[in-house]
Structure 1
Amino acid sequence: MSRATEATGNSASGFQVALILLGILVTPVVLASSSLGSQLTLGTAAIAIAAGSIILALLAAINISIGERARMPTYGIVKYSFGRKGAVAINILMAISLFGWIAVTANTFGHSAHDLLARQFGLELPIPAIVTFGCVIFVASTAFGFEALGKVARFAVPIIALLMFYILYLALTSEVPPAIAEKVSDLSFGAAVSSIVGTIIVLVATSPDFGAFVHNRKHAIIAGLLTFGVAYPVLFLVGAVPGSMTSQDSLLAAMAIIGTTLPATILLIFACITGNAGNMFQGTLVVSTLFSAFAKWKITVALGVLAAVVGSMDIMGWFIPFLLFLGIATPPVCGIYIADYLVNRRKGFDEARLDSDAAIKPRTFVAWGVASFVGFCTVNGWFTLSGIPSVDSILVAFLGYVLLSRVGAGKSAAQTS
């Protein structure tokens, strides 16, 4: 029986899903945009942001539409291409990656809130206590499901947008000394586009999680295009302005030169709340496949407790490179399930096929492994294809899966004839 695609009673509009996605992506945008702006002129940055956003918007529209068609999240979709048991390995990878970002965002929340309380109110609270308080907020925003996540986004995202544009106003009306604004280094255009795509490609790769909740295909496309084709480039460009004006690679450092760090600190706190609520939601979905005997709210609470412990540690120095390495292996999964959908699932996702298919599909893992290796090589500059490592790995995974699927289908036909 194929999965139906009609809207369910608790489905959401494309605009509602876009708000949730925006809440998740604000934290990486804030962290990455100033770094980009510090190395490029604003005009070059704008062109690079536009190019990267077009790539992301097209991928997101496709991926969210696949989620809408399947009416299941990413972890369910990958079962069809990797096999029931094979998908466990992919889900473990995704679970580790999502939990890592949960912990890193909790850590960022703790330090940002600590600095705000210390500077504005003279309160020196222990960072672990603040991280734990933040994790309580993240859990409360997630434990009641998709509907609660939407309510958090509707409240917080407009505040975040207002803060970002207020920061833009402060930057444009300030007088930054020309010596400070000089560029220390110049990033190549290809590397800039790669940075813009790579900043949020893992969210795009797992965006079928949200497609499972949209009204229909039209709303799936609206969510992808509105989030990554309109809002993402606008926010990224706004965030790049202070860095471009000051040549500082972090928003807080740039705002310190401009004159005040308070709006940026408040922005980071709100961004951490919305971002980690979304991370918790996705993390709960994928971990529930590995521990199906536990209720989802219990998994959310467990993730919150672990995030409070790990996020209270000094993890930024060694955890970020590890998470970036995991990011190399996630985009090829996106290329594979897109190829599988186009080749095998355009008429629907038939759950009965999972019982008759192989539990582990070695050819899919070959395509994934080769694509991940290509991504690793291009990230490290050993060679280049498109100039955007994550796109390289997606394309190699897509083509590899199509080729190996045809080879497998030809062998099966030869054996039955």
Structure 2
Amino acid sequence: MASSVGVDDYALTRVPATARYSWWSVAVQRFGQVSALSQFLLGATLGFGMDFWDAFLALTLGAVILEIVAIFVGVIGVREGLSTSMLARWTGFGRAGSALIGLVIGISLIGWFGIQSAVSAQGLVALVGGLPEWAWALVFGLIVTAIVLRGFHSMAWTAYVTVPAFLILVGWSITSELARHDLGGLVSSAPAGPQLSLLQGTTLVAGGFIVGAVITPDMTRFNRSVGDVVKQTLVGITVGEYVIGLSGVLLAHAVRTADITTIVTSSVGWVGILVIIAGTVKINDWNLYSSGLGVVNFVGTVFGKHVHRGVATAVIGVVGSVLAAVGILDRFTDFLILLGVAFPPIAGIMVAEYFVVRRWRDALDSARAAGTVPESAPNWVPATIAIWLAAALVGRFVEWGLPSVNSLVVAFALYVVAGKLGLVRGVGTRRTSDAEPVPAGQHS
């Protein structure tokens, strides 16, 4: 029954070598995430408050931060073949901590899934009409849900279609608008809106994709080598930030607004609406995919039940689509942004445990050699929970520097110190097989 809903996609097991993909297949999806509509909006926001070269520097600094995070956690993902929330069990958090991570990922990304569905619905009303906005939100959300049900393979083919379409449409939009202006004048022109500092701009860039960087293992577990992870990250994030981000900067200088809808529809009309839709599909399928993985891990850990990923995805997709249709998610944006403070410390702790402290590294190495997951995991790691909370509070309330970087670095440093002092200890142990199968599962 469960398999008829969709593929499980190794939600709680390692992705075997036979199910891995070429670096290009994964890179297109990574690029699709970073070159989505949200990146266009980020560029427009920078261009509205910064001159061109300051925005260029902000994009550069932000991209470097994101690449470092994505590469380190991505390497863990490709080596272990496990999702982010599953990896957390043996990278410092234990079973209970990984359940919390799964819940945070699930709530955060389903929220953004609904918000993106609502954004596309607005475009569909303007482009096609016929249905009210709430109905288009349902239609769009359910279409994306159908794509994600079929797993990574289906999402790869979606990327092959939507990413080129988005780039072509954006290119048309940019060319049509910039042809009316002197490019040199736009580069040297002053921003139209209130001034943004370099620190504020870099914070926007790094914070805008930090969640995507932290959950990189959900994607890189399908890679074949560490080199593939590095290549796809450098290409995907660098090109996405510069091509789409700087395009948004220039268009904000040309149109003198940060309103993305106005920018992309000002000169090309309905093509601009297609830009919005194509640019939303590719990031929204990953919102739903990672949300499903997080919920599967949460349910398996807390309730001891193995929920098929396809079933979880279907339920979450319907719920997110309905929430988008009734407009309730608009009120949760601030909450979701606040929730985002919890993500950077996760990466700091995982990297510190896997590469430096290595408290549970031997268990992962032994299980990997056998193609399984470790037979048991600690229930709680109290030191980790304390570090996670402390680092998140630093990111939320310390105004100096970049919040996401502050919380990540603090989490990394505190965990390493705690590890050296012998404070990183698990409380209680539970066999992995008590809740889910240990061997690598069937793909469907």
Task: Give the TM-score taking structure 2 as reference length.
Answer: 0.83
SS at match of 1:12: coil
C-alpha distance in 2 between matches for 1:236 and 1:60: 19
The Cα shift of 1:128 comes to: 1.8
Match of 1:290 in 2: 298
**1:128 aligned to 2:134?**
yes
* Count of residues paired in the alignment: 396
**1:70 aligned to 2:80?**
yes
**1:368 aligned to 2:388?**
yes
Q: Which amino acid aligns with 1:349?
A: L
Match of 2:379 among 359, 371, 374: 359
Structure 1 residues 244 and 357, CA, compared in 2 at 3 Å: closer, same or farther? Answer: same
**1:186 aligned to 2:200?**
no
Instruction: Note the residue ranges of structure 1 that are not aligned, 5 or more in a row.
Output: 118-122, 413-417
Q: Which amino acid aligns with 2:364?
A: F
**1:403 aligned to 2:417?**
yes
Match of 1:276 in 2: 284
State how 1:201-216 maps to structure 2 within 5 Å. Answer: 201-216=210-225
Contact map agreement 2:51 2:190 (CA 8 A) in 1? no
Match of 2:95 among 44, 65, 84: 84
Structure 1 residues 92 and 7, CA, compared in 2 at 3 Å: closer, same or farther? Answer: closer
C-alpha distance in 2 between matches for 1:354 and 1:92: 22
Identical residues among aligned pairs (%): 25
Match of 2:45 in 1: 35
Structure 1 residues 411 and 147, CA, compared in 2 at 3 Å: closer, same or farther? Answer: closer
C-alpha distance in 1 between matches for 2:197 and 2:122: 32
**RMSD between superposed Cα atoms in Å:** 2.5
Structure 1 residues 268 and 98, CA, compared in 2 at 3 Å: closer, same or farther? Answer: same
Match of 1:96 in 2: 107
The Cα shift of 1:370 comes to: 0.7
Match of 1:305 among 318, 327, 338: 318
Larger deviation: 318-327 or 292-301?
A: 292-301
**1:57 aligned to 2:71?**
no
C-alpha distance in 2 between matches for 1:40 and 1:264: 24
Contact map agreement 1:39 1:244 (CA 8 A) in 2? no
Q: Which amino acid aligns with 2:39?
A: V
Contact map agreement 2:14 2:82 (CA 8 A) in 1? no
Instruction: Note the residue ranges of structure 2 that are not aligned, 5 or more in a row.
Output: 1-12, 301-305, 368-372, 427-444
Match of 1:253 in 2: 262
Match of 1:44 in 2: 54
The Cα shift of 1:410 comes to: 9.3
Structure 1 residues 71 and 56, CA, compared in 2 at 3 Å: closer, same or farther? Answer: same
Match of 1:200 in 2: 209
C-alpha distance in 2 between matches for 1:255 and 1:71: 39
Match of 2:152 in 1: 146
The Cα shift of 1:246 comes to: 2.7
SS at match of 2:223: coil
Match of 1:415 in 2: none
The Cα shift of 1:181 comes to: 7.1
Contact map agreement 1:36 1:240 (CA 8 A) in 2? yes
Deviations 1:95-145 (A, max 9, x none): 11111111111111111111222xxxxx34211211111122101211111
Larger deviation: 392-401 or 51-60?
A: 51-60
**1:328 aligned to 2:341?**
yes
C-alpha distance in 2 between matches for 1:146 and 1:410: 35
**1:349 aligned to 2:364?**
yes
**1:8 aligned to 2:28?**
no
Task: Give the TM-score taking structure 1 as reference length.
Answer: 0.88
Contact map agreement 1:27 1:272 (CA 8 A) in 2? yes
C-alpha distance in 1 between matches for 2:424 and 2:151: 44
Deviations 1:264-300 (A, max 9, x none): 2211111222121111211121111123433221111
Contact map agreement 2:102 2:293 (CA 8 A) in 1? no
The Cα shift of 1:309 comes to: 1.0
Contact map agreement 1:335 1:395 (CA 8 A) in 2? yes
C-alpha distance in 1 between matches for 2:425 and 2:94: 19
C-alpha distance in 2 between matches for 1:327 and 1:28: 16
